[in-house]
Amino acid sequence: MSGISVVLAGGGTAGHVEPAMAVADALTALDPNVRITALGTARGLETRLVPERGYRLELITPVPLPRKPSADLARLPLRVRQAVRQTRAIFDDVAADVVVGFGGYVAVPAYLAARSVRPGRRIPVVVHEANASAGWANRVGVRSAARVLAAVPDPGLGPVEVVGVPVRDTITSLDRAAVRAQARAFFGFSDDDTVLLVFGGSQGAQSLNRAVAGAAEALARQGIAVLHAHGPKNTLELPAPAPGAPPYVAVPYLDRMDLAYAAADLAICRSGAMTVAEVSAVGLPAVYVPLPIGNGEQRLNALPVVTAGGGLLVEDRELTPDLVATTVAGLLTDRTRLAAMTAAAKLAGHPDAARRVAEVALEVASAGLGRVRR
């Protein structure tokens, strides 16, 4: 077979799949002869996202780690062995030269299988950690990794190379100023509207919905328009708009996030790794509201951007209609401060992250093959 063979292990959630697909696109741009295989499971979003992007997908048994003692925990060793066998067979079939792991259910079998595809051969591994606090899968992966890449300096994996989070090209190449008029027309705003973007991930976020919808009248009085993605299973209770009030555009889901980012002056959003990466990559200032469950990684994800001056951090319990009507509205009407935050957000982003991960993957694969890439 011709071309370097790269296996991307990043199935499960969009937070794992999207970075893998961004790296796949970057690999193809760097080396048109590269052969890319994505590992996934039948239950993950990769069953839709990977084929849509035109890449080969191979499915293995998922290996989730049960949080409590259960029958699933007792079956874990068997599931791991089965998944590792399946993954080894895939590695042999595609003649894998390097594995790039992004954490999640498929990463552990990939890391373990890479150690012993067949006697005397190891496939080099590159680990990428998107979150500020690493998950258990990547903690396994770093034990035998050739390179460890991360979004932040200290995700708990020892020494890392900070590259940011890989983001798709439609976002990193977005010139917000150039498409601003088009984006605003797309959503029904005028060129001179001040626009607040609100989104809580693909399913929405009820606390964000309540706080911003509850401040709708106050925002309108201050001349602030709203683009609000509330989630497909949620609804908003909004007052009837006053004559001449700026638009409040409420939609279940945003298919064109690039245009949403271009239309907005400020965002209110969660702070998952992909959200922070995209919002900062396009230079959009944001009020980050970390998900109030988990181990606090969402708060840590937002801290570098907030520390750089590109956003504010608000705890979920503190996000109220009054805070939106005062603090958020005050920021939106302070053009000088908003411009400074916009510049800081852009500087805090890593728009070249996907290309950097792809370069490392090719370097590691070439070293393993004894090649010198020029």
Cα(130)–Cα(151) distance, integer angstroms: 5
Question: Which residues contact residue 116 at a Cβ distance below 8 angstroms, ignoring those fewer than 6 apart?
Answer: 88, 122
Annotated binding-site residue? 116:
no
Annotated binding-site residue? 168:
yes
Annotated binding-site residue? 206:
no
Task: Report how far apart, in Å, the C-alpha atoms of 345 and of each of 51, 151, 348, 349 are.
Answer: 33, 15, 5, 6
Cα(19)–Cα(10) distance, integer angstroms: 8
Q: Is 40 helix (H, G, I), strand (E, B) or coil?
A: strand
Annotated binding-site residue? 336:
no
Annotated binding-site residue? 173:
no
Domain 5-167+352-369 architecture: 3-Layer(aba) Sandwich (3.40)
Fold match, 5-167+352-369 / 170-348:
yes
Please name the residue ranges forming H helices in 206-352. 206-214, 216-221, 257-263, 273-281, 297-308, 321-323, 329-332, 335-348
Helix axes 14-30, 273-281, angle to 10 degrees: 50
Q: What is the pLDDT of residue 372?
A: 37
Q: What is the pLDDT of residue 136?
A: 86
Q: What is the pLDDT of residue 365?
A: 96
Q: What is the pLDDT of residue 98?
A: 97
Q: What is the pLDDT of residue 122?
A: 86
- Tell me the whole-structure pTM to 2 decimals: 0.85
Compute how many other C-beta atoms are within 10 angstroms of the C-beta atom of residue 293.
8
Cα(128)–Cα(148) distance, integer angstroms: 6
Cα(374)–Cα(49) distance, integer angstroms: 32
Annotated binding-site residue? 182:
no
Q: What is the pLDDT of residue 120?
A: 58
- Where in 130-201 does DSSP place strands (E)? 147-150, 161-162, 194-199
Domain extent listing, the chain: 5-167+352-369, 170-348
Annotated binding-site residue? 14:
yes
Per-residue pLDDT of the chain (374 residues; tens, 9 = 90+): 579 999 999 877 777 899 999 999 999 999 999 999 999 998 888 888 899 999 999 999 877 665 555 555 556 677 788 999 999 999 999 999 999 999 988 899 999 999 876 655 789 999 999 988 898 889 999 999 999 999 988 999 999 999 999 999 999 999 999 999 999 999 999 999 999 999 987 666 899 999 999 999 999 999 999 999 998 888 888 988 889 999 999 999 898 999 999 999 999 999 999 999 999 999 999 999 999 887 778 999 999 999 999 999 999 999 999 999 999 999 999 999 999 999 999 998 899 999 999 999 999 999 977 543 43
Counting Cβ atoms within 10 Å, is residue 311 exposed (0-12), middle (13-18) or buried (19+)? buried
Please list the residues that pair with 353 across neighbouring strands. Answer: none
Structure tokens at 18: 């999207």
Domain 170-348 architecture: 3-Layer(aba) Sandwich (3.40)
Cα(321)–Cα(209) distance, integer angstroms: 10
Q: CA angle, 25 as apex, 24 and 31 as ends, to 5°?
A: 85
